[in-house]
C-alpha cells in the first residue's frame, strides 16, 4: 500500500478501534481507573481497558513476584530460626517440656488472632502496608525468645512473635493473590515452596551458628537485622493497595462473577454481557448510552438478591475453610507423626525413622515447585482432587507397609499429594472478589490453621485407644472426602 493511499476505517463490530500514537484516552480524561495486566483482556460489556507498555508491565510484575518470593522466604527463615533455638532457649528460661507445649499453643493462638486482625486491616490499608508492618514486627520480635529470662517473659515474647507471624501469613498470601491475578497463570504454589525453602535455609544457618558456638542472642539479633533490611528492600516492589478486581482474575481461575459487589469497576456486566445490578455510578456525558446502560436503580428489590449473594459467599468461605482444615490436618499428622510411626510400626532405628519425615518434606517441597505448571495445564480442581487421592493412597500404603522402603514411598506420596492443594484453596479464597477479599482469606486461614494444630493432637488422643498406625486411618478417610469435594475451588 502506498503512502498516499488512505487508510480504511475498520468495519463496524470488528473490535475495539485503534488509537493513534500519542492519542489520549477519553476514559482517562473522565477519571477512569486503569487496570494493568500482562496481556489485555478482551472487551466485554461496557468499555475497554487502556493499554500500557508491555515491557514496563512485565518488569514491574517480575519485581513484584520476586518481592513476594522474598517475603515468603523471609517468613520461613525467621520461623525456622526460632525453632532451631528452642532447646537452648528452654534451658536458659528453665521451661519444662510440658510447659513448652503450652507455650507453643500460645504462639499458635496469637497467630490466629493476628490472622483475624490482618484480614480487615489488609482490606482497609492494603496488603503491601500490612506486609511491611508484619514483616518488621517478626524481624524485631524474633529476638524476644532469646532475651527471655523466665517463663513469663518467654510467653510474652512468643505471643508477640505469633501475632506478627499470623498477620504476615495473611498479608503475604493476599499479596501473592494480587500478583498471580496479574500474571494470568498459576504461581501460588511456588510462593509456598519458597516458604519451605526459607525454613530449610534457616535450619541450616541455625545449625551452623550453633556449631560455631554463637549464642541465641547474637544469632537472632543478626537474623532480625537481616529481616529488617530485606523488608525495606522488598516492600517498595509489592503491588500497592487497590480494591479487589475480579475482572482481572487469572485465566486459569474459572469461578463465575455473579455478585453485584464483585463487578469490574470499568466493566459492570454479568456473565452474559448485560449490565449488572447497582453498579458504581461513573461520570459520562449526559444522555449517552453509557449512562443509561450503567446506572440502574437500587432499592428494596435488590436486597433479597444481595442477601442471597452474601449467604452464598459465606457458604463458599466455610467450604474452603473446611477443605483447608482437612488438608492441613493431614499435613500436620504427617509432619509430626511420620518418624514415630516408622520407628514403632517397623521397629527401625531413629536415624532410619527420620527418613520418613525426610521423604514427606522433600516431595512436598518439590511438588509445590511443580504444582503451578500442572495446575495451569489441568486446572485447580484436578490438582485438589487427584492430589487428595494420591495423599489418601499414600496413607493407605503407610498403614499396610511392612517394610521401610515401602513406608518411605507412602510418605513421599503423601507429601506430593498434599503439596498443591492448600495453595489452590488460598487462591480461590483470594479471588472471591468484592472489598473483603483479605478478610475472606483470613477466615479460611484461621480454619485451616486450626486443622494444622488439631491433627497431631487428635492422633495423639487416638493412640490411647488404637495403635498409631491404625489412627492414620483418620487422615486417609478425610483426604478421600476432600477429593470428593474438590469442585469447591472452581465456584
- CB count within 10 Å of CB 325 equals 23
Q: Provide the pLDDT confidence category of residue 376 given band limits of 50, 70 and 90.
A: confident
Q: Pick the range with the lowest mean pLDDT from 10-19, 128-137, 396-405, 453-462.
A: 10-19
Confirm if 245 and 264 have CB atoms less than 8 A apart: yes
Q: Which pLDDT value is given to residue 101?
A: 74
Does position 27 have pLDDT exceeding 80, yes or no? no
Q: Which pLDDT value is given to residue 463?
A: 85
- CB count within 10 Å of CB 52 equals 14
Q: Which pLDDT value is given to residue 261?
A: 40
Q: Which triple of cell numbers denotes residue 379?
A: 486446572
From 146, 157, 144, select the one nearest 217 (Cα to Cα). 146
Please give the Cα distance from 176 to 66 (Å, whole number). 10
Q: Which pLDDT value is given to residue 433?
A: 66
Does position 64 have pLDDT exceeding 50, yes or no? yes
Does position 207 have pLDDT exceeding 90, yes or no? no
Q: Which pLDDT value is given to residue 306?
A: 66
Q: Provide the pLDDT confidence category of residue 410 given band limits of 50, 70 and 90.
A: very high
Q: Which pLDDT value is given to residue 185?
A: 83
Confirm if 72 and 191 have CB atoms less than 8 A apart: yes
Average pLDDT rounded to a whole number, residues 51-71: 75
Q: Which pLDDT value is given to residue 448?
A: 87
Average pLDDT rounded to a whole number, residues 426-435: 76
Q: Provide the pLDDT confidence category of residue 267 given band limits of 50, 70 and 90.
A: very low
Range ranked top by mean pLDDT from 30-34, 164-168, 267-271: 164-168
Q: Provide the pLDDT confidence category of residue 255 given band limits of 50, 70 and 90.
A: very low
Taking the CA atoms of 432, 107, 82 and 237 in sequence, report the sign of the dihedral they define: positive
Reported residue count of the chain is: 491
Confirm if 198 and 72 have CB atoms less than 8 A apart: yes
Give the chain's largest Cα–Cα span. Answer: 91
Tens-place pLDDT, residues 320-353: 999 999 999 998 888 878 888 888 899 888 778 8
Please give the Cα distance from 312 to 402 (Å, whole number). 47
Q: Kindly give, in sequence order, each residue whose CB lies less than 8 Å from that of residue 475, ignoring residues fewer than 6 positions away.
A: 329, 330, 333, 334, 391, 395, 455
Q: Which pLDDT value is given to residue 256?
A: 38
> DSSP letter at 20?
P
Average pLDDT rounded to a whole number, residues 103-107: 85
More reliable by pLDDT, 108 or 25: 108
Q: Provide the pLDDT confidence category of residue 35 given band limits of 50, 70 and 90.
A: very low
Q: Provide the pLDDT confidence category of residue 293 given band limits of 50, 70 and 90.
A: very low
Does position 40 have pLDDT exceeding 80, yes or no? no
Please give the Cα distance from 210 to 101 (Å, whole number). 23
> DSSP letter at 247?
G
Average pLDDT rounded to a whole number, residues 66-72: 95
Q: Which pLDDT value is given to residue 28?
A: 37
Q: Which pLDDT value is given to residue 240?
A: 86
Q: Which pLDDT value is given to residue 241?
A: 65
More reliable by pLDDT, 11 or 372: 372
Q: Provide the pLDDT confidence category of residue 400 given band limits of 50, 70 and 90.
A: very high
> DSSP letter at 11?
P
Average pLDDT rounded to a whole number, residues 255-271: 38
Confirm if 214 and 95 have CB atoms less than 8 A apart: no
Does position 465 have pLDDT exceeding 60, yes or no? yes
Average pLDDT rounded to a whole number, residues 198-203: 85
Q: Which pLDDT value is given to residue 396?
A: 96
Q: Which pLDDT value is given to residue 300?
A: 54
Instruction: Pinpoint the alpha helices (H) of 401-436.
Output: 404-419, 421-430
Q: Provide the pLDDT confidence category of residue 434 given band limits of 50, 70 and 90.
A: low
Q: What is the pTM of this model?
A: 0.68
Q: Which triple of cell numbers denotes residue 113?
A: 488472632
Q: Which triple of cell numbers denotes residue 209?
A: 551458628
Average pLDDT rounded to a whole number, residues 55-71: 84
Q: Which triple of cell numbers denotes residue 88?
A: 537452648
Mean pLDDT (the chain, rounded): 77
CA distances from 210 to 34, 213, 216, 220 (A): 52, 5, 8, 11
Amino acid at each position: 500500500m502506498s503512502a498516499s493511499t488512505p487508510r480504511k476505517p475498520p468495519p463496524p463490530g470488528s473490535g475495539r478501534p485503534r488509537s493513534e500514537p500519542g492519542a489520549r484516552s477519553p476514559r482517562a480524561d473522565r477519571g477512569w481507573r486503569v487496570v494493568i495486566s500482562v496481556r489485555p483482556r478482551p472487551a466485554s460489556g461496557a468499555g475497554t481497558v487502556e493499554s500500557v507498555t508491555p515491557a514496563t508491565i512485565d518488569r514491574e510484575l517480575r519485581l513484584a513476584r520476586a518481592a513476594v518470593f522474598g517475603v515468603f522466604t523471609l517468613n520461613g527463615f525467621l520461623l525456622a530460626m526460632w525453632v532451631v533455638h528452642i532447646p537452648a532457649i528452654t534451658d536458659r528460661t528453665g521451661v519444662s517440656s510440658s510447659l513448652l507445649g503450652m507455650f507453643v499453643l500460645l504462639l499458635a493462638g496469637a497467630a490466629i488472632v493476628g490472622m483475624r486482625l490482618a484480614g480487615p486491616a489488609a482490606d482497609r490499608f492494603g496488603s503491601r502496608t500490612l506486609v511491611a508492618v508484619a514483616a518488621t514486627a517478626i524481624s524485631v520480635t524474633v529476638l524476644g525468645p532469646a532475651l527471655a529470662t523466665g517463663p513469663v517473659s518467654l510467653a510474652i515474647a512468643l505471643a508477640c512473635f505469633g501475632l506478627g507471624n499470623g498477620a504476615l501469613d495473611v498479608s503475604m498470601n493476599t499479596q501473592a493473590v494480587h500478583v498471580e491475578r496479574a500474571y494470568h497463570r498459576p504461581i501460588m504454589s511456588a510462593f509456598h515452596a519458597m516458604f519451605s525453602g526459607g525454613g530449610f535455609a534457616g535450619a541450616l544457618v541455625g545449625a551452623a551458628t550453633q556449631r560455631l558456638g554463637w549464642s541465641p542472642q547474637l544469632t537472632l539479633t543478626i537474623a532480625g537485622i537481616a529481616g529488617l533490611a530485606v523488608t525495606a528492600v522488598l516492600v517498595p516492589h509489592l503491588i500497592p493497595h487497590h480494591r479487589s478486581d475480579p475482572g482481572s482474575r487469572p485465566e486459569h481461575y474459572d469461578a463465575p462473577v455473579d455478585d453485584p459487589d464483585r463487578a469490574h469497576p470499568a466493566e459492570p456486566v454479568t456473565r452474559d454481557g448485560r449490565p449488572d445490578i447497582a453498579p458504581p455510578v461513573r461520570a459520562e456525558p449526559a444522555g449517552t448510552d453509557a449512562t443509561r446502560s450503567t446506572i440502574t436503580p437500587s432499592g428494596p428489590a435488590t436486597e433479597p438478591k444481595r442477601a442471597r449473594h452474601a449467604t452464598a459467599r459465606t457458604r463458599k468461605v466455610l467450604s474452603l475453610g473446611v477443605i483447608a482444615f482437612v488438608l492441613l490436618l493431614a499435613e500436620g499428622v504427617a509432619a509430626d507423626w511420620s518418624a514415630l510411626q516408622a520407628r514403632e510400626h517397623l521397629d527401625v532405628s531413629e536415624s532410619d525413622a527420620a527418613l520418613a519425615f525426610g521423604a514427606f518434606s522433600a516431595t512436598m517441597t518439590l511438588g509445590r515447585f511443580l504444582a503451578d505448571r500442572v495446575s495451569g495445564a489441568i486446572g485447580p480442581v484436578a490438582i485438589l482432587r487427584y492430589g487428595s487421592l494420591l495423599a489418601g493412597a499414600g496413607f493407605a500404603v503407610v498403614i499396610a507397609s511392612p517394610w521401610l522402603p515401602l513406608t518411605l514411598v507412602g510418605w513421599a506420596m503423601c507429601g506430593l499429594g498434599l503439596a498443591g492443594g492448600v495453595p489452590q484453596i488460598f487462591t480461590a479464597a483470594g479471588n472471591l472478589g468484592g472489598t473483603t477479599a483479605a478478610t475472606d482469606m483470613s477466615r479460611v486461614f484461621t480454619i485451616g490453621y486450626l486443622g494444622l494444630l488439631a491433627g497431631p493432637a487428635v492422633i495423639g488422643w487416638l493412640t490411647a485407644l488404637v495403635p498409631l498406625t491404625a489412627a492414620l486411618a483418620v487422615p486417609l478417610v478425610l483426604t478421600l472426602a476432600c477429593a470428593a469435594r474438590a469442585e469447591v475451588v472452581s465456584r
